[in-house]
Structure 1
Amino acid sequence: MPINIPNGLPAKEILESEKIFALEEDVARKQDIRPLRIAILNLMPKKIETETQILRLISKSPLQVDIDFMKVSNHVSKNTSADHLLKFYDDFSMLKENHYDGLIITGAPVEHLEYEDVDYWQELCTIMEWSKSHVYSTVHICWGAQAGLYYHYGIQKHLLPHKVFGIFPQLLCDEYNFLTNGFDEVHMTPHSRHTAIDEEALAEVKELEVLSRSNTTGSNIIATRDFRRIFIMGHLEYGKDTLAQEYFRDLNQGKEIQIPYNYFPEDDPSKEPLFKWRAHANLLYRNWLNYVYQMTPFDLKELTTG
C-alpha cells in the first residue's frame, strides 16, 4: 500500500527516487477506492494446484482483489474435471467485454511444440491482443512468457540440450525498480523448462528491461518500462513440493530426469526440500498489485491501448 504523507514533505522526492509510492494528503483524500479486477488465464494441466499457488500470492496483499478464471475454448483439459471448469471458469468469449487491472497468463507443458502448432494458439493470440486495450498490466509466466515475447516482439525460443530444472540464484539488475523493489541482490527462482528465449533478440528490444537474470538460466524477470507487460521465465508461484512432484512423476514414468538443482538438501531426494523463494515471490506479486492499484483508472473502461 502507498504511504500518505503531509503536503510538501521534503522526503517525498527521495521516496519517489527510490520508487516508493508516497501520496500527499490532498491527493490521498481524493482517491476513489474499489477492488482490483484480475483475470487468470490458467493453461496448466493441474488447474486447481495452479489456482491455489497464484491465489496464495495474490492474497498476501492487503488490497481487495476480484478474480475471474479464464480458459481457452478449443482445448479439452485432461487433468481437471469438467464440473470444476464449468463451475469456476469462463471462456474468453464470456469475459472479453470486461476490463481488468491485471491479467495472469500461466505456463503450459507445450514448449516442445512450435507456437503455431499449439491447438489454442490463435485464441491465445486473440487474448494477448485484447489485453492491450482491456488490461492495464499482464503477467506472463514460463511458457506464457515465451509465448508473450514471441507474439508481442517476435522473440523466438529454442530447445536446450538439457532441461533447466531446479532452484537457481538470480542477480537483481535494478535495485529501485517498482516491480522488484525490496528484493535482495540475489534471489532464488524455480525453473522447469526445456526451452529458452533468444537473448540477443531480447537485447534489441529497447522497450523491454531485464530486472533479474543469471548466467545459467538467462533473463529471469523482464518487463516493459511501464509494466504493461511482465514476463517471468521461471515459476515463482510454485509451492515447496512442486518440483519434487515433477521429479518423482517423471522418475516413475521412466523418463530421463536429473535431480532438481539446488533443491533437495545434499541432492538427496529422500530429504524434504527447503522453501528458498517464497519471500521474493510474495514481494513480487505485492509490488505488482500495488503498482496496478496506483496506476489504473477508477473506471477501467478508460484504459488506453498499451
Structure 2
Amino acid sequence: MCCIAGCPSLLGRDRAEKEGIRFIKDKGELKIGVINLMPFKEEVEYQFYAVLGRFDISVEMEFLYPENHIFKNTKGSYIKDNYYPMGELKKRGYDGVIMTGAPVELMEFHNVNYWDEIKSFIKSNQLPVIYICWGAQAALYVKYGIKKISLKEKLFGIYRHRTNKNPFISGEFMAPHSRNTQNSSEDIKRAGLRILAESDEAGVYISSDKVYSDFYISGHGEYQRERLQYEYCRDKQLLPKNYFPEDDPEREPSMNWDSHRKEFYYNWLKYLKEKKLSNIPNNM
C-alpha cells in the first residue's frame, strides 16, 4: 500500500489523495523535507506526494520555505500554516531533503532575494539531498564553483537519456526538461562528480558525489503529465519536443518518463532507509 504521512491541510496532498494515494496517520519509516522554491506551491506538493507515495516504504513529508522570500502566488497565511522556515530544518529530524528548482535561473545567484539562506543551507547541510534544476545549479556553484551557462534557446521537452553504471537508475529512459541554462559535463567531471545519466541533446541529467549523498538533477522527473502542456499554453512559444503525439497540441501527451522516476526515487528511498538502519545502535 502507498503510504505518506503529513499535514492534512496541504492542498497538494488533498489532490493526490483524491487520485488514490492513501496516507497513514502516524510517522512514516522515513521523514523527508522538501524546500519548495516554486511559485505555485500546491503543484509541487502534489508532484512529490504522487511520486513518493507509490512505494512500499512509508514516507512522512514536510515542506519548507526561505524566510526572506516574498510570496506572490501563494497566500502568506497558507505558507505560515503549512510550511516550516528553512532555519528550522536541522531541528526537524529529516532523513533526506529535496530542494526544488525556482524560476530565477536567468538571474545572478546573488541577486535572488533568498540567496543567503540557500547558500547557508548548501554549505552547512550534512543530510542526503536531491537538488533539482536551479537548486542543482545553485548547489554546484556553492560547493564546486561550477557556473551555469545560458542556452541560445530554451531546452523544452522530453529527451532520451543513457546511464552510466550506478545503483539508482539504469538503461535508457525519457525525462522532461524545461530550462534556459545548463552546467557543462566538463566542469562536472573536473569537480570529481559522477555523471549517472546524460543526453546527447539535453546534456547531463543526473550527477552525484562519490558516495551518492548529493544528487544534482537538471530536469524534472517529478513533473505530472500536463506540466509541459501548461507551460506551452502559457508561453505560446516553443512546442515541447517529443511530448505531444505527432506534435499535435490537441492530443493528450504520454507520460513516458514515469518508469524512470519510479526507479530513481524508489532506489533513493531504499538508500535512505538502509542508511538510517545502519546508524541504529546494536542494543536498540
TM-score, length-scaled by structure 1: 0.80
What are the Cα deviations for residues 269-298 of structure 1, in whole angstroms up to 9, with x where unaligned? 111111110111111111000001001357
Aligned ranges for residues 132-281 of structure 1 at < 5 Å?
Answer: 132=126, 135=127, 137-174=128-165, 177-180=166-169, 183=170, 185-206=171-192, 208-251=193-236, 257-281=237-261
Name the aligned partner's letter for residue 178 of structure 1.
P
Bigger Cα displacement from structure 2, 60-69 vs 239-248: 60-69
1:57 to 45, 51, 56: 51
Contact 2:99 2:135 in 1 (8 A): yes
Deviation, 1:67, is 1.5
Contact 1:61 1:289 in 2 (8 A): no
Deviation, 1:202, is 1.1
Deviation, 1:34, is 7.0
What are the Cα deviations for residues 71-97 of structure 1, in whole angstroms up to 9, with x where unaligned? 000111111122321221011223333
What are the Cα deviations for residues 237-292 of structure 1, in whole angstroms up to 9, with x where unaligned? 000000000110112xxxxx210000011111111111110111111111000001
CA separation in 2, counterparts of 1:105 and 1:48? 15
Deviation, 1:122, is 0.6
Higher RCO, 1 vs 2 (CA within 8 Å, ≥6 residues apart): 1
Q: Mark the CA change 1:298 to 1:209 in structure 2 (over 3 Å): closer, same or farther.
A: closer
Name the aligned partner's letter for residue 158 of structure 2.
I
1:129 aligns with 2:128: no
Name the aligned partner's letter for residue 189 of structure 2.
A
Question: SS where residue 250 of structure 2 aligns?
Answer: coil
CA separation in 1, counterparts of 2:219 and 2:161? 11
1:283 aligns with 2:277: no
1:78 aligns with 2:67: no
Deviation, 1:201, is 1.3
Q: Sequence identity of aligned pairs in percent?
A: 37
RMSD of aligned alpha carbons: 1.6
CA separation in 1, counterparts of 2:183 and 2:276? 30
Contact 2:28 2:60 in 1 (8 A): no
What are the Cα deviations for residues 136-170 of structure 1, in whole angstroms up to 9, with x where unaligned? x1000111111111111111101100000000000
Bigger Cα displacement from structure 2, 106-115 vs 220-229: 220-229
Instruction: Pick the structure with greater CA Rg.
Output: 1
Contact 1:115 1:121 in 2 (8 A): yes
CA separation in 2, counterparts of 1:62 and 1:97? 27
CA separation in 1, counterparts of 2:198 and 2:268? 19
Q: Any stretches of 5+ residues in structure 1 without a counterpart?
A: 1-32, 252-256, 301-306
Q: Mark the CA change 1:83 to 1:34 in structure 2 (over 3 Å): closer, same or farther.
A: closer
CA separation in 1, counterparts of 2:41 and 2:92? 22
Question: SS where residue 100 of structure 1 aligns?
Answer: coil
Question: SS where residue 296 of structure 1 aligns?
Answer: helix
Q: Any stretches of 5+ residues in structure 2 without a counterpart?
A: 1-26
Contact 2:184 2:204 in 1 (8 A): no
Aligned equivalent of 2:273: 293
CA separation in 1, counterparts of 2:89 and 2:114? 17
